Amino acid sequence: MVKRIAVELGRHAPFTAFGAASGIIIMAIIVLASAPSGVSETIFYTLHPVHVVLSALVTTALYKRYGGGKLWAAILIGYTGSVGIATLSDSIIPYLGGALLSIKMGFHVGFIEKWWLVNPLAFLGIAIGYLRPTTKFPHAGHVLLSTWASLFYFTAFGIAKWIPLLPFIFLFLFLAVWIPCCVSDIVYPLLFLRVDKHEANEIEPEL
Protein backbone atom coordinates (compact mmCIF):
# COMPACT_ATOMS: atom_id res chain seq x y z
CA MET A 1 0.00 0.00 0.00
CA VAL A 2 2.85 2.41 0.77
CA LYS A 3 4.36 1.74 -2.67
CA ARG A 4 0.97 2.29 -4.29
CA ILE A 5 0.56 5.63 -2.53
CA ALA A 6 4.03 6.73 -3.69
CA VAL A 7 3.25 5.74 -7.29
CA GLU A 8 -0.07 7.59 -7.31
CA LEU A 9 1.44 10.69 -5.74
CA GLY A 10 4.10 10.75 -8.45
CA ARG A 11 1.53 10.19 -11.20
CA HIS A 12 -0.70 12.99 -9.95
CA ALA A 13 2.03 15.54 -9.20
CA PRO A 14 2.15 17.16 -12.70
CA PHE A 15 -1.62 17.60 -12.96
CA THR A 16 -1.79 18.90 -9.40
CA ALA A 17 1.00 21.37 -10.14
CA PHE A 18 -0.96 22.55 -13.19
CA GLY A 19 -4.01 23.08 -10.99
CA ALA A 20 -2.00 24.99 -8.41
CA ALA A 21 -0.49 27.18 -11.14
CA SER A 22 -3.96 27.97 -12.47
CA GLY A 23 -4.95 28.86 -8.91
CA ILE A 24 -2.06 31.30 -8.61
CA ILE A 25 -3.11 33.00 -11.85
CA ILE A 26 -6.67 33.34 -10.56
CA MET A 27 -5.43 34.71 -7.24
CA ALA A 28 -3.27 37.30 -9.00
CA ILE A 29 -6.29 38.44 -11.02
CA ILE A 30 -8.42 38.70 -7.88
CA VAL A 31 -5.80 40.75 -6.07
CA LEU A 32 -5.07 43.07 -8.99
CA ALA A 33 -8.80 43.59 -9.53
CA SER A 34 -9.22 44.39 -5.81
CA ALA A 35 -12.17 42.00 -5.62
CA PRO A 36 -13.88 42.14 -2.19
CA SER A 37 -13.56 39.14 0.11
CA GLY A 38 -17.30 38.58 -0.15
CA VAL A 39 -16.87 37.54 -3.78
CA SER A 40 -14.24 34.96 -2.81
CA GLU A 41 -16.45 33.69 0.01
CA THR A 42 -19.37 33.18 -2.36
CA ILE A 43 -17.15 31.34 -4.83
CA PHE A 44 -15.66 29.20 -2.03
CA TYR A 45 -19.10 28.14 -0.84
CA THR A 46 -19.94 27.24 -4.43
CA LEU A 47 -16.78 25.30 -5.27
CA HIS A 48 -16.50 23.46 -1.95
CA PRO A 49 -19.91 21.74 -2.19
CA VAL A 50 -19.26 20.79 -5.85
CA HIS A 51 -15.87 19.41 -4.76
CA VAL A 52 -17.69 17.28 -2.18
CA VAL A 53 -20.06 15.94 -4.85
CA LEU A 54 -17.21 14.87 -7.15
CA SER A 55 -15.16 13.43 -4.29
CA ALA A 56 -18.13 11.39 -3.05
CA LEU A 57 -18.84 10.23 -6.60
CA VAL A 58 -15.28 9.01 -7.28
CA THR A 59 -14.76 7.40 -3.87
CA THR A 60 -18.11 5.59 -4.01
CA ALA A 61 -17.68 4.60 -7.67
CA LEU A 62 -14.28 3.05 -7.01
CA TYR A 63 -15.63 1.06 -4.08
CA LYS A 64 -18.73 -0.03 -6.01
CA ARG A 65 -16.85 -0.96 -9.19
CA TYR A 66 -14.19 -3.12 -7.57
CA GLY A 67 -15.83 -4.26 -4.38
CA GLY A 68 -19.37 -4.99 -5.41
CA GLY A 69 -20.25 -2.73 -2.54
CA LYS A 70 -22.97 -3.06 0.06
CA LEU A 71 -25.13 0.05 0.04
CA TRP A 72 -24.57 0.94 3.70
CA ALA A 73 -20.80 0.58 3.29
CA ALA A 74 -20.81 2.69 0.11
CA ILE A 75 -22.69 5.45 1.92
CA LEU A 76 -20.30 5.40 4.88
CA ILE A 77 -17.16 5.28 2.72
CA GLY A 78 -18.44 7.87 0.26
CA TYR A 79 -19.46 10.30 2.98
CA THR A 80 -16.36 10.09 5.18
CA GLY A 81 -14.03 9.96 2.19
CA SER A 82 -15.56 13.06 0.63
CA VAL A 83 -16.67 15.36 3.44
CA GLY A 84 -13.69 14.50 5.64
CA ILE A 85 -11.04 14.83 2.94
CA ALA A 86 -12.67 17.88 1.32
CA THR A 87 -12.68 19.65 4.68
CA LEU A 88 -8.99 18.82 5.13
CA SER A 89 -8.13 19.98 1.61
CA ASP A 90 -10.35 23.05 1.27
CA SER A 91 -10.32 24.41 4.84
CA ILE A 92 -7.85 22.90 7.28
CA ILE A 93 -4.69 22.94 5.13
CA PRO A 94 -5.30 26.51 3.83
CA TYR A 95 -6.00 27.63 7.40
CA LEU A 96 -2.79 26.04 8.67
CA GLY A 97 -0.91 27.46 5.70
CA GLY A 98 -2.18 30.92 6.55
CA ALA A 99 -1.15 30.45 10.17
CA LEU A 100 2.37 29.41 9.12
CA LEU A 101 2.60 32.52 6.94
CA SER A 102 1.35 34.69 9.81
CA ILE A 103 -1.79 35.60 7.88
CA LYS A 104 -4.85 36.57 9.86
CA MET A 105 -7.28 33.78 8.90
CA GLY A 106 -10.76 32.85 9.99
CA PHE A 107 -11.55 29.14 10.45
CA HIS A 108 -14.59 27.88 8.55
CA VAL A 109 -15.88 24.34 8.01
CA GLY A 110 -18.33 23.96 5.14
CA PHE A 111 -20.19 20.82 6.21
CA ILE A 112 -21.01 22.49 9.54
CA GLU A 113 -21.65 26.09 8.49
CA LYS A 114 -23.45 25.08 5.28
CA TRP A 115 -24.68 21.69 6.51
CA TRP A 116 -27.98 22.08 4.66
CA LEU A 117 -26.09 22.30 1.35
CA VAL A 118 -22.87 20.29 1.71
CA ASN A 119 -24.31 17.16 3.33
CA PRO A 120 -27.18 16.60 0.84
CA LEU A 121 -24.74 17.12 -2.03
CA ALA A 122 -22.40 14.53 -0.53
CA PHE A 123 -25.26 12.02 -0.60
CA LEU A 124 -26.06 13.06 -4.18
CA GLY A 125 -22.48 12.24 -5.17
CA ILE A 126 -22.71 8.91 -3.35
CA ALA A 127 -25.93 8.05 -5.19
CA ILE A 128 -24.45 8.90 -8.60
CA GLY A 129 -21.23 7.00 -7.86
CA TYR A 130 -23.15 3.95 -6.68
CA LEU A 131 -25.63 3.85 -9.55
CA ARG A 132 -23.20 4.88 -12.29
CA PRO A 133 -19.65 4.11 -11.17
CA THR A 134 -17.45 6.21 -13.48
CA THR A 135 -14.26 7.96 -12.36
CA LYS A 136 -12.50 9.52 -15.36
CA PHE A 137 -13.79 13.09 -15.64
CA PRO A 138 -15.03 13.37 -12.02
CA HIS A 139 -11.52 12.65 -10.73
CA ALA A 140 -9.89 15.31 -12.90
CA GLY A 141 -12.62 17.75 -11.94
CA HIS A 142 -12.15 16.86 -8.29
CA VAL A 143 -8.46 17.80 -8.45
CA LEU A 144 -9.09 21.17 -10.11
CA LEU A 145 -12.07 22.13 -7.96
CA SER A 146 -10.18 21.23 -4.81
CA THR A 147 -7.32 23.51 -5.89
CA TRP A 148 -9.62 26.43 -6.60
CA ALA A 149 -11.66 25.92 -3.43
CA SER A 150 -8.47 26.01 -1.37
CA LEU A 151 -7.42 29.17 -3.20
CA PHE A 152 -10.67 30.99 -2.50
CA TYR A 153 -10.48 29.98 1.15
CA PHE A 154 -7.31 32.07 1.37
CA THR A 155 -8.81 35.15 -0.26
CA ALA A 156 -12.23 34.79 1.40
CA PHE A 157 -11.09 34.39 5.00
CA GLY A 158 -7.55 35.77 5.02
CA ILE A 159 -6.17 39.31 5.04
CA ALA A 160 -2.69 39.80 3.59
CA LYS A 161 -0.57 41.38 0.88
CA TRP A 162 -0.94 38.37 -1.38
CA ILE A 163 1.38 39.10 -4.30
CA PRO A 164 4.67 38.59 -2.36
CA LEU A 165 3.20 35.41 -0.86
CA LEU A 166 2.19 33.77 -4.15
CA PRO A 167 5.14 31.29 -4.27
CA PHE A 168 4.21 30.07 -0.77
CA ILE A 169 0.50 29.97 -1.66
CA PHE A 170 1.42 27.79 -4.66
CA LEU A 171 3.10 25.32 -2.30
CA PHE A 172 0.11 25.15 0.03
CA LEU A 173 -2.35 24.83 -2.86
CA PHE A 174 -0.27 21.95 -4.21
CA LEU A 175 -0.12 20.17 -0.85
CA ALA A 176 -3.79 20.83 -0.10
CA VAL A 177 -4.75 18.84 -3.17
CA TRP A 178 -1.91 16.44 -3.91
CA ILE A 179 -2.07 14.18 -0.86
CA PRO A 180 -5.75 14.51 0.19
CA CYS A 181 -7.17 13.89 -3.29
CA CYS A 182 -5.04 10.79 -3.89
CA VAL A 183 -5.99 9.47 -0.48
CA SER A 184 -9.68 10.20 -0.97
CA ASP A 185 -10.08 8.89 -4.51
CA ILE A 186 -7.70 5.92 -4.44
CA VAL A 187 -6.21 4.83 -1.13
CA TYR A 188 -9.27 5.27 1.11
CA PRO A 189 -11.63 3.05 -0.96
CA LEU A 190 -8.88 0.42 -1.33
CA LEU A 191 -8.79 -0.02 2.43
CA PHE A 192 -12.26 -1.56 2.26
CA LEU A 193 -11.73 -3.80 -0.76
CA ARG A 194 -10.70 -7.44 -0.60
CA VAL A 195 -8.28 -7.53 -3.50
CA ASP A 196 -4.82 -8.98 -3.90
CA LYS A 197 -1.70 -6.91 -4.51
CA HIS A 198 -1.88 -7.22 -8.30
CA GLU A 199 -5.53 -6.22 -8.45
CA ALA A 200 -4.90 -3.26 -6.16
CA ASN A 201 -2.23 -1.97 -8.53
CA GLU A 202 -4.75 -2.05 -11.40
CA ILE A 203 -7.39 -0.03 -9.54
CA GLU A 204 -7.29 3.67 -10.22
CA PRO A 205 -9.49 6.56 -11.28
CA GLU A 206 -8.46 8.07 -14.60
CA LEU A 207 -7.31 11.64 -15.11
**pLDDT (tens digit, 9 = 90+) per residue, 67-104?**
766 899 999 999 999 999 899 999 999 999 999 999 98
pLDDT at 66: 77
Q: How far is CA 120 from the centre of its chain?
A: 17
Is the pLDDT reported for residue 196 higher than 70? no
Q: Which residues of 60-70 are buried (b: 16+ CB within 10 A; e: fewer)?
A: bbbbbbbbebe
pLDDT band at residue 198 using 50, 70 and 90 as cut-offs: very low
Residue 108 has φ and ψ, to the nearest 5°, of -135, 135
Mean per-residue pLDDT, 13-24: 89
Mean per-residue pLDDT, 42-56: 93
pLDDT at 151: 94
**What integer best gives the mean pLDDT of the chain?**
86
Which percentage of the chain shows pLDDT scores above 70? 86
Per-residue pLDDT tens over the stretch 142-194: 788 889 999 999 999 999 999 999 999 999 999 988 888 767 767 787 778 76
Q: Which of 50-59, 124-133, 165-174, 192-201 has the lowest mean pLDDT?
A: 192-201
Q: Identify any residues that bridge with 159 across adjacent strands, giving them in sequence order.
A: 104
